[in-house]
């Protein structure tokens, strides 16, 4: 058989349908939509578009509960990324921040370097496809037990992949978070976030229009990597993990850099009608989404798709997730000019089809029509499920968190603190973030190690504050409160550097939604997040859902990850000269807390690391208190009345003070405190330092003095802990683990 003839296609069987992740009811819907049996290409297209990863069929119903609008929102969910107003740029033009967070969990477990690298590449494309120059990358990582036989390999591979891609493409990686828990032993979480900046009047969208307009393919050639990537990401892990290695995409950051520059150059012209990156489901999702959003049809000639492998079928070309590719609709007559730009940047360029008025996707290959599908069923009419879920009361009974009993007073708060700072939960992540280039672009004002990263809006003295956060153990114990807390923590991180919080993105990482207790986790987190977003004026403008994060263990039982609604948040600092950091600054500065203290030891880090318990409810989140404390903190920073700020989170007050001491290389003498005061993870609280009593008005700023910055030791209940000993404990975990 020559390459000029079509390969005989398999007859659609029950087994083939099942292998494509479709159930019997869904396959019947395909038959009804087509009025006939699909061929293998059509079945493949339906399978990826109806996968959980692309269709959100288990989550869309509940995602609608989230607030997505506000005066700061230019574009909310539905496009490649969210867009918010950040005021005037250097020339007085209106500027916008464009951002989103994505997951690449399954690929990163199978092939950690490429899985993480292509996760970064994919989220970069989501942002620059809208006309933004990417200015910052962040990540949110969850790994299993450090002593798990695979975990060191996974950590090294993921970190190398993030650094290898981000560093080469020339976008600084400025922040993130890393957690460890046995629940992630068989299914790690790799979430990547990108923020970009663009002129507000030069945003590009994905809706195709103009019958007869050319559809253009640009970037790298299509290969056989990543086929069924979207379907793989929509299923549990079983014993066939290694067999799924070919479903992992392979990225090239140097090509991505060329693609960014070429796209931005073309965007400076008036040639582009619509643009979409080829992410999950590749050419299928990009073409379907462009046509659906524009309420038009498309016809593609598969013979014209640039391929790097011979004999590729239409099925393979449409389902490949080869990286560094974009799809565009151009104005007629602009093809030659556009091609010249992409040729200059040494990228492929091909006109592969045109816009039609049929509301259908038609594919031709070697002179034959190999696909003819109405677009409605593929996208707008995709399956939508209202999965059964437990009530809050039923879930609480199911999860059976033990009540918090009598916890003995700490005999030595300093000794407990040293042990906690050396634990995987709180150890320095320096080993990770030093592998990332955080300074490329020369606009990074604050990188990893503080409450939020800060990047200058180029050409101005404004700063974008960016953070990622989530506390999965809270979400498991009480999904509703955990969802609230994830938003509130992100809000505090932004306030602590002096930024006004503006908006959020999310990455919802959960187990199998067909299990009612897992769906209860998802619904509870969504409802808690929604309430917090409304109260704190931080609408969700983009996001991603990653379900089926489960792995069948040796016991034959499927083990789910902790519910992990990772939050990415963006805020604005009007004047970078006021930006705040966490480190102690001056000998003699007063130390105080702002916010209300409660004895909240349930689910605390101290309880787990010192007593080996994970009992009790998570801390309650009072959103009025959060808003109040955050506003006070921002005012104090703007007025120059504080010298350091740090929010109180994991590990409580004692850990917060230790981190401030380490950042400033200064000690402190702290007033007498109980272990409940030292280690409570009560929410809505900050530690501040200030020079003069007169700078703080108690009627306006209710604060509690707790000590003074002094010397090179942190003195807790009269017992000194040298800052050098804290640093040794803090740095020891990753140093010792990775040098084994």
- Catalytic center residues: 53, 104
Cβ atoms of 561 and 189 within 8 Å: the answer is yes
Residue in the block written with tokens 């809006």: 457
Q: What are phi and psi of 165, to 5 degrees?
A: -80, -50
Tell me if residue 18 falls in helix, strand or coil. helix
What single string gives the DSSP state of each residue in 551-619?
EE-TTS-EEEPPPEEEEEEEEEES-GGG---SS--STT-EEEEES------TT-HHHHHHH----SPPP
Read off the tokens for 542.
Answer: 């983009």
Beta strands in 144-265 (DSSP E): 173-180, 189-199, 214-219
H/E element, 430: helix 430-433
The alpha-carbon radius of gyration of the chain (Å, integer) is 26
Tell me how far apart the terminal alpha carbons of the chain are, to the nearest angstrom: 54
Strands 133-143 and 189-199: antiparallel
What single string gives the DSSP state of each residue in 668-693?
EEE----HHHHH---SS-EEEEES-G
- Cα–Cα distance for residue pair 707/593, rounded to 1 Å: 10
Query: How much helix, strand and coil, in percent to the nearest 5, is found in the chain?
Result: 35, 25, 40
Lay out the sheet containing 703-709: strands in order across: 644-647, 686-690, 590-594, 703-709, 668-670, 713-716, 719-722
Read off the tokens for 461.
Answer: 């003295």
Cβ atoms of 628 and 487 within 8 Å: the answer is no
> Residue 325 CA to chain centroid, in angstroms?
21
Cβ atoms of 404 and 397 within 8 Å: the answer is no
CA distances from 405 to 473, 476, 601, 611 (A): 18, 19, 10, 12
- Cα–Cα distance for residue pair 305/294, rounded to 1 Å: 22
């Amino acid at each position: 058989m020559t390459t000029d003839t079509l390969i005989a296609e398999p007859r659609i069987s029950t087994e083939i349908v099942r292998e494509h992740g479709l159930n019997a009811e869904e396959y019947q819907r395909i038959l009804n939509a087509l009025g006939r049996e699909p061929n293998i290409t059509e079945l493949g297209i339906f399978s990826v578009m109806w996968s959980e990863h692309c269709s959100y069929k288990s989550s869309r119903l509940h995602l609608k509960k989230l607030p997505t609008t506000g005066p700061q929102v230019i574009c909310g969910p539905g496009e490649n990324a969210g867009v918010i107003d950040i005021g005037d740029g250097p020339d007085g033009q209106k500027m916008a921040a464009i951002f989103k967070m994505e997951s690449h969990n399954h690929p990163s477990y199978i092939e950690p370097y490429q899985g993480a690298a292509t996760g970064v590449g994919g989220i970069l494309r989501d942002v620059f496809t809208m006309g933004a120059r990417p200015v910052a990358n962040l990540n949110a990582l969850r790994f299993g037990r450090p002593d798990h036989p695979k975990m060191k390999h996974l950590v090294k591979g993921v970190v190398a992949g993030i650094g290898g891609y981000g560093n080469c493409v020339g976008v600084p990686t400025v922040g993130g978070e890393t957690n460890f828990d046995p629940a992630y032993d068989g299914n790690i979480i790799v979430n990547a976030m990108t923020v970009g900046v663009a002129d507000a009047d030069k945003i590009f969208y994905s809706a195709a229009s103009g019958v007869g307009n050319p559809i253009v393919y640009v970037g790298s050639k299509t290969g056989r990597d990543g086929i069924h990537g979207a379907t793989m990401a929509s299923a549990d892990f079983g014993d066939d993990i290694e067999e799924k290695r070919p479903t992992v995409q392979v990225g090239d950051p140097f090509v991505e850099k060329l693609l960014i520059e070429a796209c931005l150059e073309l965007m400076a012209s008036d040639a582009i009608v619509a643009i979409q990156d080829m992410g999950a489901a590749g050419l299928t999702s990009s073409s379907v989404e462009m046509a659906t959003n524009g309420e038009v049809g498309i016809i593609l000639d598969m013979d014209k798709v640039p391929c790097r492998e011979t004999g590729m079928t239409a099925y393979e070309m449409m389902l490949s997730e080869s990286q560094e590719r974009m799809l565009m609709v151009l104005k007629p007559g602009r093809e030659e000019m556009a091609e010249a730009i992409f040729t200059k940047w040494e990228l492929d360029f091909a006109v592969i089809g045109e816009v039609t008025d049929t509301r259908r996707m038609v594919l031709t290959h070697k002179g034959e029509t190999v696909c003819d599908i109405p677009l409605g069923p593929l996208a707008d009419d995709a399956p939508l499920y209202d999965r059964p879920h437990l009530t809050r009361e039923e879930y609480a009974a199911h999860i059976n968190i033990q009540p918090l009993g009598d916890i003995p007073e700490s005999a030595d708060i300093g000794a407990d603190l040293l042990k906690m700072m050396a634990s995987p939960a709180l150890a320095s992540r320096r080993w990770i973030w030093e592998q990332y280039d955080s300074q490329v672009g020369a606009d990074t004002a604050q990188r990893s190690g503080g409450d939020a990263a800060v990047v200058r809006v180029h050409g101005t003295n404004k700063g974008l504050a960016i953070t990622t956060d989530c506390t999965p153990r809270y979400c498991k114990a009480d999904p509703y409160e955990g969802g609230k807390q994830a938003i509130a923590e992100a809000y505090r991180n932004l306030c602590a550097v002096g930024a006004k919080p503006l908006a959020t993105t999310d990455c919802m990482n959960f187990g199998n939604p067909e299990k009612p207790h897992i769906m209860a986790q998802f619904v509870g987190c969504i409802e808690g997040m929604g309430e917090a977003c409304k109260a704190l004026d931080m609408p969700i403008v983009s996001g991603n859902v990653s379900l089926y994060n489960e792995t069948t263990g040796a016991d034959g039982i499927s083990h789910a990850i902790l519910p992990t609604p990772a939050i990415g948040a963006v805020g604005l600092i009007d004047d970078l000269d006021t930006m705040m950091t966490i480190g102690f600054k001056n000998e003699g500065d007063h130390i105080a807390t702002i916010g209300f203290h409660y004895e909240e030891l349930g689910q605390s880090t101290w309880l787990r690391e010192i007593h080996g318990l994970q009992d009790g409810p998570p801390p309650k989140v009072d959103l009025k208190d959060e808003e109040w404390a955050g506003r006070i903190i921002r005012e104090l920073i703007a007025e120059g009345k504080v010298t350091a700020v740090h929010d109180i989170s994991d590990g409580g007050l004692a850990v917060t003070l230790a981190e401030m001491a380490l950042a400033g290389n200064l000690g402190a003498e702290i007033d007498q405190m109980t272990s409940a005061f030292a280690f409570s993870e009560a929410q809505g609280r900050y530690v501040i330092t200030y020079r003069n009593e007169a700078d703080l008005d108690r009627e306006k700023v209710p604060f509690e003095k707790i000590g003074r910055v002094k010397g090179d030791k942190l003195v807790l209940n009269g017992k000194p802990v040298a800052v050098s000993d804290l640093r040794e404990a803090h740095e020891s975990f990753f140093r010792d683990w990775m040098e084994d």
